[in-house]
């Protein structure tokens, strides 16, 4: 049945009367115009969009559109000049006529204004209203008012006025023109018209008066009601005023209690305070989970959902810090008496800050004012211009706690000098200028304050600023390290700041570290390419490596920062020949850092063994017999092959084991020969300690003895050479026994059993269909691509169809033009023939007449 | 000769003299003045004089105003009773000779401009003299080339005292011409032989110069390529030796063999070996003659042996050379420094080639694998990334060696049966051992190395890993690769920092102080 109907509809479709070309959808269309696309099967969940269509209507719409655009173009195809209507908004139907008029008027005014002399200071522009001077209107103001108030028939409505005087408003123009049009249609006498208008306006007036009376009545009623309610609400309103003036009446204790209780009810129930044990337990739990995470990364097991644990420093810097909170505290520092008042004033200022925040300040106020040392408020108020950032509470947050203990006074002095807010530096030079010339504490304070003032929670751009700050600080650290002598103490403190910043912005911090590492490596690579070997880099690179190990977990199987740092250290140990004592210290430091990196993961470092072997070698006199081979940076013979050899008996006797100074790494020169010799022995001691550590660490490796064979050979040589101090000899001996103690275990290697390859099965593969109508079994990108291709194809087809239809339309138009022309011609020819025939007929008739005569 | 001060004056004066000599034979004695300026102190003046000489004798050579034929000594010329013209020509020829000698001496002048100019002038004379020979052709179509003059030039280039590499690079452009190249080769062999016979130890500077010159000589590949001649000839006769590539090759071979048979410094040896396979061996008439040098180099040990390997390989591979104990020597070459030398990539490329044969005995391959893995214990990461796949490839190629990584039911041993000190791979007992070293390297700090070493835990996959991209790997590349790897999240350290050396059980803190 449906089929028949649709067929019928299709048949009917072309023959739709022209009347249907309305372009607007009718509420109930002619059933003969509707085409229904029959669905072959009902599929649940499928959306059908094109089940009903109105071909006639849409065709009519298309044709109309073409006549409006294409046909117009076609007709104007040979015309070069165009008539443009530049009146403002003439063809814009979105603007209402009034608006249009306003705009036009404004434009006109503007144009006029522009043309006028700009030096004309006296404004002689006359303000008008509806085309009448405002000045004039003002004069008649009273009259008009009295008119409207009084009930006289003389009141003139706008229309009336317009009709009489022709006001300037756009609306009026239109209306009058309409009226004129009407008048043109059916002429009315002017008198009748005016009468009609008067009647109308009178009625309007009456209505208005009635309305006004009603409103008045209502207002009165409302006022009365309000008075009744007002008594109930009286105590609520004056709150804010009272606060400002500080002269509110003291409420009695009972009221206070009542209100307090009332507010307590609203308070959210919170968790009970945790006991110490619970806190410790929690912390332990947290550390355990972090450790588990670390182990997982160390083993390199890839976890898909590698959620990053939200690391919090123990001191938890990043918790809701509010700058304003601390404003008042520093007030109490002035005039030397701050130490005494510190505690109290902190309370006071706490209270006050609460008041400032003022969620429930109304309740707290009385207590506040009851506070015995209320004057401190005043004091603090007076002093608050001093600054807006403050250290004391911040320091409680800050991890650098031990600072508080030392140099209290010096700090105080410094604090009075330092400004409290700092703009985050935009360049390294800025930071440097901020920090240079200040003491350690001051520098720390400055960095701390920069962080506080630019905490990401305070403003939008602060995150980027602090991210940059990390890079600058790092650069600054490098700068300090290259100084002579290096400011290691400052670096020591700054590391804490770096750590905190790193916790906040891991990505940017890792990028900064990578950048400095790349820089160092690049420099080394350049040197290797030109000279074939590189020199040990400055202390800064070593410090960077050390810092990288403190900021990031070094035990990960793969880590974006730590792995490159490891490669970098390996390069240092393999590519840089040891040419002086300084190089030895640097190399040993790198070894220490390297071993620190792998202290948890216990990984194997061949370069390190080689390097230690080399160091041990240069501490012995050159010999021919060898159970070992030296590799690259060391050579068996040559200039530096006995660099660490100490031959002075006395120096050996006086040597005391002590830690090496990092200043050695940055160009410190030994003053005396004895000092140099002592340093040599210290280096040797460090080297032996490291060897021992390696031995302990790598004892479990399967080929431990093959790894340590050269070391053992050298150590026995050392031992044989009895000139060393006793301590060193003991160390050697202990290492050797340690080595002996490691058991051999040579279990033959066996491959893991691989899973047997499963047989091919012929069961069909089942794919879940998640969405109908979409191609399955391809990736998201592929699907997207297909969708785009499909869309393009469809659009292309549509465009082609449109073009074809355009052409058809044009052809039809041309044909009709030709036909019209032909018809015209035919008509004219016919006419001519007609006239000729009549002429001929007349002439013949005349002739016949003549003949008849 | 009156002289104006300054180079301008000298030029004008020389110009006048030149005009005079060229204009009339009567003024010929002015030549002495010009030649005198050649020995001046001022380098500007010398340059002017060289230019003047160049123009003067160039013109004379072209005009044919120099005596052609066997030149009698000057005294006999003056005393003799020949015609005046003949006398003049002979006399002028003598002047020409003394001019050339002067120019030859100028090749040792401290100023490079002078050297360059002198060389240019001499080469111009060579060209002109070749075109207008100063000796009579003995028969029709006799090939004449100013050999004595040219030999003087080459001798000047191969100085004993001074490194002439700059001048030699200038000379290089003349070597593009086939005749110059041919005669250079001949002259060079002569000079080298003479110098080597004169000195018990060949001086290093001379070796350097000679090597620079010799390595600049590159023969064309085909006979038909010999067509560009410096001395312009109207026609090329087939009977001339210089037109045959075979003769060129012979000269080439003579030159190199003559050079290499002497005891050369190690640096030169290295350089020669580096270019051996590429630009020497293919051009020799009998490449197998190079065996002496190569075996000698192979026996030196170290990097030189590694380099000699390449040449030896070509001889063995293409020229059927039988080399006894080749693999044993190759095995001997493997020592820890192999991973640290510059020619690592080349060595492992060749080693891969040598060990690619599937007909090698299992004990040999096992010994190599074991040795390499033992050495890997001291290798830097970039070398490990290359050598671990190398070892795995060996095991893949030779299934008999898989017992090294898979020995089910084997007895537990007290010590590694492999003997690292044994020179003969057959006796090293490598097949009884296992690759525990790789197991140790699974704990390497670098993740990639660790992964590469962990391959042996599974049954080795069949296709070999391509070594080509790994051979040239440098540490810097490894570093860059690590840096660029994925923008994954950055895990952070959870133990808060307390200062540079503030952490507990920090090694640095134990051994270093800040002050």
Tally the residues of chain A: 853
Give the separation between CA A137 and CA B38, rounded to whole angstroms. Answer: 115
pLDDT digits (tens, 9 = 90+) for B420-436: 888 888 888 888 888 88
Provide the CA B5 distance to its chain's centre, in angstroms: 47
Tell me what pLDDT residue A212 has: 93
Cα dihedral B156, B160, B162, B163, rounded to 10, equals: 80
Arithmetic mean of pLDDT, A143-166: 48
Give the separation between CA A652 and CA A649, rounded to whole angstroms. Answer: 5
Helix (H, G, I), strand (E, B) or coil at B458: coil
Query: Which of these ranges, A354-368, B31-45, B325-339, has the smallest mean pLDDT?
Result: A354-368
Q: What percent of chain A has pLDDT over 90?
A: 12
B413 — phi, psi (to 5°)?
Answer: -110, 155
Nearest to B112 by CA among B58, B169, B155: B169
Of A314, A686, A748, the CB nearest to B511: A686
Nearest to A710 by CA among B374, B45, B320: B374
Nearest to A294 by CA among A695, A562, A568: A562
Res. A851: pLDDT tops 70? yes
Cβ contact, residue pair B491, A496, below 8 Å: no
Q: Residue B368's pLDDT band (boundaries 50, 70, 90)?
A: very high
Contacts of B245 (CB under 8 A, 6+ apart): B219, B220, B222, B223, B225, B226
Tell me what pLDDT residue A652 has: 77
Of B339, B420, B445, the CB nearest to A605: B445
Cβ contact, residue pair A744, B457, below 8 Å: no
Res. A370: pLDDT tops 50? no
Res. A410: pLDDT tops 80? no
CA distance B139 to chain A (A): 58
Res. A478: pLDDT tops 90? no
Arithmetic mean of pLDDT, B104-118: 82
CA distance B328 to chain A (A): 20
- Closest alpha carbon within chain B to A685: B511
Helix (H, G, I), strand (E, B) or coil at B262: coil
Return the higher-pLDDT residue of A365 and B430. B430
Res. A147: pLDDT tops 70? no
Cβ contact, residue pair A604, B340, below 8 Å: no
* Residues paired with B177 in a beta bridge: none
Of A496, A604, A704, the CB nearest to B498: A496
Return the higher-pLDDT residue of A772 and B349. B349
Contacts with A306 from chain B: Cβ below 8 Å: 488-489
CA distance B354 to chain A (A): 25
Optimal mutation site among B507, B509, B510, B515, interface A, most CBs of chain A within 10 A = B507
DSSP state of B321: -
Helix (H, G, I), strand (E, B) or coil at B363: helix
Tell me what pLDDT residue B61 has: 79
Contacts with B507 from chain A: Cβ below 8 Å: 592-593, 595-596, 599, 690, 693
- Closest alpha carbon within chain B to A690: B507
Q: How far is CA A525 from CA A210, A242, A291, A623, B448, in A?
A: 97, 74, 37, 33, 21
A485 preceded by a cis bond (ω within 30 of 0): yes
Optimal mutation site among B332, B376, B512, interface A, most CBs of chain A within 10 A = B512
Optimal mutation site among B375, B494, B515, interface A, most CBs of chain A within 10 A = B494
Q: How far is CA B146 from CA A353, B62, B151, B243, in A?
A: 106, 15, 9, 17
Cα dihedral A633, A636, A642, A645, rounded to 10, equals: 100
pLDDT digits (tens, 9 = 90+) for B17-26: 777 777 777 7
Query: Which of these ranges, A380-389, A691-700, B375-384, has the smallest mean pLDDT?
Result: A380-389
Contacts with B380 from chain A: Cβ below 8 Å: 570-571, 574, 606-607
Arithmetic mean of pLDDT, B340-362: 86
Res. B331: pLDDT tops 80? yes
Optimal mutation site among A498, A703, A705, interface B, most CBs of chain B within 10 A = A703
Tell me what pLDDT residue A136 has: 67
Contacts with A606 from chain B: Cβ below 8 Å: 376-380, 384, 444
Res. B483: pLDDT tops 80? yes
Tell me what pLDDT residue A265 has: 58
How do beta strands A128-129 and A132-133 pair?
Answer: antiparallel
Return the higher-pLDDT residue of B167 and A421. B167
Contacts with B501 from chain A: Cβ below 8 Å: 492
Task: Go through A509-520 and write b for each residue having 16 or more CB atoms within 10 A of its CB, e for each that does not.
Answer: bbbbbbebbbeb
Helices first, then strands: H and E counts in chain A: 31, 5
Res. A778: pLDDT tops 60? yes
Of B457, B497, B507, the CB nearest to A592: B507
* Residues paired with A746 in a beta bridge: B413
Tell me what pLDDT residue A15 has: 41
Provide the CA B136 distance to its chain's centre, in angstroms: 40
Return the higher-pLDDT residue of A621 and B378. B378
Query: Concatenated DSSP letters for A155-194?
Result: ---HHHHHHHH----HHHHHHHHHHHHHHHHS---HHHHH
Arithmetic mean of pLDDT, B5-29: 72
**Helix (H) or strand (E) run with residue B178 in it:** helix B178-198
Arithmetic mean of pLDDT, A147-163: 48
The reported pTM is 0.60
* Residues paired with A52 in a beta bridge: A36
CA distance A595 to chain B (A): 7
Tell me what pLDDT residue B235 has: 67
* Residues paired with A661 in a beta bridge: B513
Give the separation between CA B407 and CA B411, rounded to whole angstroms. Answer: 9
Arithmetic mean of pLDDT, A607-626: 81
Q: How far is CA A843 from CA A833, A834, A837, A846, in A?
A: 15, 14, 9, 5
Tell me what pLDDT residue A64 has: 94
Res. A348: pLDDT tops 80? no
Return the higher-pLDDT residue of B187 and B67. B187
Arithmetic mean of pLDDT, A331-341: 43
A492 — phi, psi (to 5°)?
Answer: -55, -40
Of A309, A550, A754, the CB nearest to B503: A550
Burial of A9 (0-12, 13-18, 19+ CB in 10 A): buried
pLDDT digits (tens, 9 = 90+) for A529-584: 888 778 888 888 888 998 888 888 888 888 888 899 999 999 888 888 888 888 88
Query: Which of these ranges, A39-53, A416-430, A690-704, B113-127, has the smallest mean pLDDT?
Result: A416-430
Res. B181: pLDDT tops 50? yes
pLDDT digits (tens, 9 = 90+) for B193-252: 888 777 777 777 888 888 888 888 877 777 666 677 777 776 666 667 777 778 888 888
A708 — phi, psi (to 5°)?
Answer: -95, 5
**Helix (H) or strand (E) run with residue B117 in it:** helix B112-131
Cβ contact, residue pair B378, A744, below 8 Å: no
Arithmetic mean of pLDDT, A49-55: 83
Return the higher-pLDDT residue of A160 and B162. B162
Contacts of B202 (CB under 8 A, 6+ apart): B195, B196, B262, B263, B264, B265
Tell me what pLDDT residue A203 has: 93
pLDDT digits (tens, 9 = 90+) for B64-79: 777 777 777 777 766 6
Q: By the 8 A CB rule, do B265 and B209 touch?
A: no
Contacts of A633 (CB under 8 A, 6+ apart): A533, A573, A574, A575, A576, A577, A578, A611, A614
End-to-end CA distance of chain A: 83
Tell me what pLDDT residue B339 has: 86
Q: Residue A374's pLDDT band (boundaries 50, 70, 90)?
A: very low
Contacts with A571 from chain B: Cβ below 8 Å: 380, 475-476, 479
Arithmetic mean of pLDDT, A428-452: 81
Tell me what pLDDT residue A249 has: 62
Give the separation between CA A374 and CA A369, rounded to whole angstroms. Answer: 6
Arithmetic mean of pLDDT, A185-208: 84
Res. A304: pLDDT tops 60? no
Tell me what pLDDT residue A813 has: 93
Nearest to A531 by CA among A520, A539, A523: A523
Tell me what pLDDT residue A125 has: 61
Contacts with B447 from chain A: Cβ below 8 Å: 300, 557-558, 563
């Amino acid at each position: 049945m449906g089929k028949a109907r649709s067929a019928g509809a299709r048949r009917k479709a072309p023959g739709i009367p022209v009347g249907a070309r309305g372009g607007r959808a009718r509420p109930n269309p002619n059933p003969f115009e509707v085409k229904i696309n029959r669905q072959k099967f009902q599929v649940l969940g499928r959306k059908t969009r094109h089940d009903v269509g109105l071909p006639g209507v849409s065709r009519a719409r298309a044709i109309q559109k073409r006549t409006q655009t294409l046909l117009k173009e076609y007709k104007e195809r040979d015309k070069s000049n165009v008539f443009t209507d530049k009146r403002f908004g003439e063809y814009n139907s979105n603007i209402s006529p009034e608006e249009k008029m306003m705009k036009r008027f404004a434009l006109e005014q503007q144009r006029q204004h522009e043309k006028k002399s700009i030096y004309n200071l006296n404004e002689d522009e006359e303000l008008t209203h509806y085309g009448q001077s405002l000045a004039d209107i003002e004069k008649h103001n009273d009259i008009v008012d009295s008119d409207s108030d009084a009930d006289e028939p003389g009141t003139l409505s706008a229309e009336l006025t317009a009709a009489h005087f022709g006001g300037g408003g756009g609306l009026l123009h239109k209306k009058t023109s309409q009226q004129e049009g009407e008048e043109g249609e059916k002429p009315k006498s002017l008198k009748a018209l005016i009468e009609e208008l008067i009647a109308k306006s009178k009625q309007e007036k009456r209505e208005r008066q009635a309305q006004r009376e009603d409103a008045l009545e209502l207002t009165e009623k409302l006022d009365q009601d309000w008075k009744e309610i007002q008594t109930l609400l009286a105590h609520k309103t004056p709150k804010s005023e009272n606060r400002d003036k500080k002269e509110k009446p003291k409420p009695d204790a009972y009221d206070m209690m009542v209100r307090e209780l009332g507010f307590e009810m609203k308070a959210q129930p919170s968790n009970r305070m945790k006991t110490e044990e619970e806190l410790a337990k929690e912390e332990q739990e947290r550390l355990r989970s972090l450790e588990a995470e670390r182990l997982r990364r160390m083993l390199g097991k890839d976890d898909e959902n590698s959620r990053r644990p939200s690391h919090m420093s123990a001191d938890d810097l990043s918790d809701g810090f509010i700058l304003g909170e601390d404003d008042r505290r520093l007030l109490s520092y002035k005039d030397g008496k701050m130490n005494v008042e510190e505690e109290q004033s902190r309370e006071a200022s706490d209270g006050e800050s609460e008041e400032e925040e003022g969620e429930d300040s109304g309740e707290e106020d009385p207590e506040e004012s009851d506070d015995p040392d209320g004057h401190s408020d005043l004091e603090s108020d007076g002093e608050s211009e001093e600054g807006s950032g403050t250290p004391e509470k911040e320091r409680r947050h800050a991890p650098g706690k031990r600072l508080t203990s030392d140099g209290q006074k010096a700090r105080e002095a410094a604090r009075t000098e330092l400004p409290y807010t700092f703009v985050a530096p935009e360049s390294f030079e800025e930071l440097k200028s901020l920090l240079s010339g200040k003491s350690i504490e001051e520098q720390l304070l400055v960095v701390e304050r920069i962080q506080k003032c630019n905490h990401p929670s305070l403003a939008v751009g602060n995150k980027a600023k602090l991210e940059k700050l990390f890079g600058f600080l790092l650069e600054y650290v490098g700068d300090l390290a290259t100084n002579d002598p290096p400011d290691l103490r400052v670096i020591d403190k700054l590391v804490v700041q770096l750590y905190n910043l790193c916790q906040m912005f891991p990505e940017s911090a890792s990028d900064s570290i990578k950048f400095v590492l790349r820089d160092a490596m690049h420099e080394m690579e350049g040197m290797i390419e030109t000279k074939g070997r590189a020199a040990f880099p400055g202390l800064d690179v070593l410090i960077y490596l050390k810092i990288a190990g403190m900021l990031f977990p070094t035990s990960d199987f793969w880590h974006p920062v730590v792995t490159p740092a490891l490669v970098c250290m390996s390069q240092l140990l393999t590519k840089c020949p040891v040419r002086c004592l300084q190089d030895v210290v640097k190399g040993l430091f790198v070894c220490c850092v390297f071993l620190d990196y792998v202290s948890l993961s216990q990984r194997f470092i061949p370069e390190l063994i080689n390097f230690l072997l080399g160091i041990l070698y240069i501490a012995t006199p050159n010999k021919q017999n060898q159970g070992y081979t030296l590799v690259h940076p060391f050579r068996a013979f040559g200039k530096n092959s006995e660099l660490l050899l100490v031959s002075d008996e006395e120096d050996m006797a006086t040597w005391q084991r002590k830690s090496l100074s990092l200043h050695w790494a940055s160009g410190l020169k030994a003053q005396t020969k004895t000092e140099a010799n002592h340093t040599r022995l210290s280096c040797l001691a460090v080297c032996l300690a490291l060897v021992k550590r390696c031995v302990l660490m790598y004892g479990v490796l399967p080929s431990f003895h093959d790894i340590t064979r050269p070391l053992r050979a050298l150590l026995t040589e050392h031992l044989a050479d009895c000139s060393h101090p006793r301590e060193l000899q003991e160390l050697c001996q202990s290492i050797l026994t340690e080595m002996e103690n490691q058991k051999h275990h040579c279990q033959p290697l066996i491959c893991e059993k691989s899973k047997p390859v499963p047989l091919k099965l012929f069961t069909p593969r089942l794919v879940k269909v998640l969405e109908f109508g979409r191609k399955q079994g391809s990736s998201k990108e592929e699907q997207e691509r297909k969708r785009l291709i499909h869309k393009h194809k469809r659009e292309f087809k549509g465009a082609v169809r449109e073009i074809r239809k355009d052409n058809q339309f044009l052809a039809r138009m041309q044909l009709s033009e030709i036909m019209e022309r032909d018809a015209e011609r035919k008509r004219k020819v016919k006419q001519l023939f007609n006239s000729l025939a009549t002429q001929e007929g007349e002439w013949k008739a005349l002739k016949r007449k003549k003949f008849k005569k | 000769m009156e002289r104006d001060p300054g180079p301008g004056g000298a030029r004008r004066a020389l110009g006048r003299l030149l005009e005079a000599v060229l204009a009339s034979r009567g003024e010929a004695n002015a030549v002495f003045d010009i030649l005198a300026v050649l020995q001046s102190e001022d380098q500007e003046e010398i340059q002017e004089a060289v230019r003047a000489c160049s123009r003067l004798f160039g013109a004379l050579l072209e005009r044919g105003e120099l005596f052609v034929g066997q030149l009698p000594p000057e005294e006999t010329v003056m005393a003799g009773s020949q015609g005046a013209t003949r006398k003049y020509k002979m006399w002028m020829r003598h002047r020409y000779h003394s001019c050339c000698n002067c120019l030859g001496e100028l090749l040792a002048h401290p100023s490079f401009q002078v050297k360059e100019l002198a060389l240019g002038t001499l080469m111009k004379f060579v060209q002109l003299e070749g075109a207008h020979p100063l000796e009579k052709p003995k028969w029709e179509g006799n090939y004449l080339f100013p050999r004595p003059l040219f030999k003087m030039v080459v001798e000047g280039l191969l100085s004993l005292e001074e490194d002439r590499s700059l001048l030699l690079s200038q000379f290089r452009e003349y070597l593009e011409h086939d005749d110059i190249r041919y005669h250079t080769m001949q002259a060079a062999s002569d000079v080298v032989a003479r110098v080597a016979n004169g000195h018990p130890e060949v001086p290093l500077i001379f070796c350097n110069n000679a090597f620079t010159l010799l390595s600049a000589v590159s023969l064309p590949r085909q006979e038909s390529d010999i067509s560009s001649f410096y001395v312009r000839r109207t026609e090329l006769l087939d009977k001339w030796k210089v037109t045959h590539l075979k003769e060129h090759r012979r000269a080439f071979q003579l030159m190199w063999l003559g050079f290499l048979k002497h005891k050369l410094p190690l640096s030169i040896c290295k350089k020669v070996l580096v270019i051996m396979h590429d630009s020497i061996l293919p051009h020799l008439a009998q490449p197998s003659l190079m065996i002496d040098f190569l075996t000698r180099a192979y026996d030196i040990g170290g990097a030189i042996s590694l380099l000699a390997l390449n040449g030896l390989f070509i001889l063995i591979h293409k020229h059927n050379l039988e080399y006894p104990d080749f693999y044993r020597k190759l095995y001997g070459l493997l020592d820890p420094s192999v991973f640290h030398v510059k020619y690592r990539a080349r060595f492992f490329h060749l080693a891969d080639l040598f060990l690619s044969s599937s007909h090698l005995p299992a004990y040999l391959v096992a010994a190599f694998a074991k040795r390499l893995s033992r050495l890997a214990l001291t290798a830097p990461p970039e070398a490990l990334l290359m050598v671990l796949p190398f070892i795995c490839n060996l095991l893949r190629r030779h299934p008999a060696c898989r017992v090294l990584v898979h020995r089910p039911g084997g007895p537990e041993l007290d010590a590694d049966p492999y003997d690292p000190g044994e020179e003969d791979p057959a006796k090293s007992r490598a097949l009884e051992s296992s690759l525990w070293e790789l197991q140790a390297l699974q704990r390497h700090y670098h993740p990639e190395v660790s992964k590469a070493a962990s391959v042996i835990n599974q049954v080795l996959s069949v296709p070999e890993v391509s070594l080509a991209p790994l051979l040239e790997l440098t540490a810097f590349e490894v570093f860059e690769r690590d840096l660029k790897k994925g923008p994954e999240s950055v895990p952070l350290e959870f133990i808060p920092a307390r200062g540079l050396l503030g952490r507990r059980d920090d090694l640095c803190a134990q051994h270093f102080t800040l002050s």
